[in-house]
Amino acid sequence: MNQKRAMIPLIEIIRAANQALLRNWSRAVLTSLSMVVGTASLVLVVVVGISGRAYVLDLIKGVGTNLITIYHGVGRCLAP
């Protein structure tokens, strides 16, 4: 029941990976580019959200926090 698995040397794994990257270099470049663009867009969305929140809070503080009242709930429809 105890079977020994054949271990592949690390150099063989690196050589095979290098050959695969050289053979499909356009796919590797496009995959890397998509990962960079995806990560950058995620960071950009988070930064815009944080900056927008800070901007709105600064506007509210500028008007005066005692002058603004916010009600939460379902309102009436004004259409006839």
Number of H helices, E strands in the chain: 2, 0
Cα–Cα distance between 42 and 39 in angstroms, integer?
5
- Predicted TM-score (pTM) of the model is 0.52
The token pair at 77 is 């429809």
* Positions of the chain with pLDDT under 50: none
15-24: per-residue pLDDT in tens? Answer: 999 999 899 9
